């Protein structure tokens, strides 16, 4: 697949791709609302080039204020957990006794995550690291103001090259677990062909 052709086809559809170069290669993204007239031109391109479509819903501020539950999301992604070579962070940050290398189930965090560099927060307050999309990292003052009153603890984050604790970021330590309904009638699931666990 020619990257230049993909980019041109999206431009012809009225959409400019946002380009991000990272250690795994070049990633191009765009946001197009389904009620945007350009969506009808973009949808076939996603299928033609076998791209990933991630639908999401945006709510108004008043809808958020009325909601009984809210979903938290990161405002940005910052780097990769360290060491990133050969996913070495897994051995450093987790107990892998119950881990399945095929499906990823079974990790239990036992040590702080390590970052290559301290985050340059700017006006942002919540981040995730690539590859670790079930953990949130926040500014210490955001943790103190928002999460500590909700009895959510925090863990330190280390600078990888020195092992020193970073004073500009903490990891949220969310203690709550819920039981998932793993009934195929209620929700679809996949069974790992290697460890036979449901996901």
- What does the DSSP assignment read for the chain? --HHHHHHHHHHTT-PPEEEEETTEEEEE----TTSTTHHHHHHHHHHTT----------HHHHHH-S------SEE----SS-GGGTHHHHHEE-TT--TTT-TT-EE-S--EESS----TT--EEEETTEEEEEEE-HHHIIIIIGGGT-EEEEEEETTT-PEEEEEEEEE----------TTTS---B-TTT--B-
What is the pLDDT averaged over residues 109-116? 96
pLDDT at 107 over 60: yes
Domain assignments of the chain as residue spans, ordered by start: 3-63, 76-83+112-173
- pLDDT per residue over 2-54, tens digit each? 778 888 888 899 988 877 766 556 677 888 888 899 999 988 988 888 888 88
- 59 vs 173 pLDDT, higher one: 173
CATH class belonging to 3-63: alpha beta
């Amino acid at each position: 697949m020619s990257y230049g052709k993909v980019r041109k086809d999206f431009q012809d559809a009225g959409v400019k791709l946002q380009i991000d170069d990272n250690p795994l290669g070049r990633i191009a993204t765009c946001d197009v609302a389904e009620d945007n007239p350009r969506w009808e031109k973009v949808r076939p391109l996603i299928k033609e080039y076998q791209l990933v479509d991630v639908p999401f819903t945006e709510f108004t501020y008043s809808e958020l204020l009325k909601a009984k539950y809210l979903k938290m999301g990161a405002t940005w992604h910052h780097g990769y957990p360290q060491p990133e070579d050969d996913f070495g962070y897994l051995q450093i940050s987790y107990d892998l006794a119950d881990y399945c290398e095929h499906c990823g189930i079974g990790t239990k965090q036992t040590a702080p995550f390590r970052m290559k560099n301290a985050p340059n927060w700017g006006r942002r307050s919540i981040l995730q690291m690539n590859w670790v999309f079930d953990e949130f990292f926040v500014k210490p003052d955001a943790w103190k103001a928002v999460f500590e009153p909700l009895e959510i603890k925090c863990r330190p984050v280390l600078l990888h090259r020195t092992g020193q604790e970073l004073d500009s970021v903490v990891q949220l330590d969310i203690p709550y677990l819920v039981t998932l309904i793993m009934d195929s009638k209620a929700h679809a699931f996949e069974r790992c062909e290697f460890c036979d666990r449901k996901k």
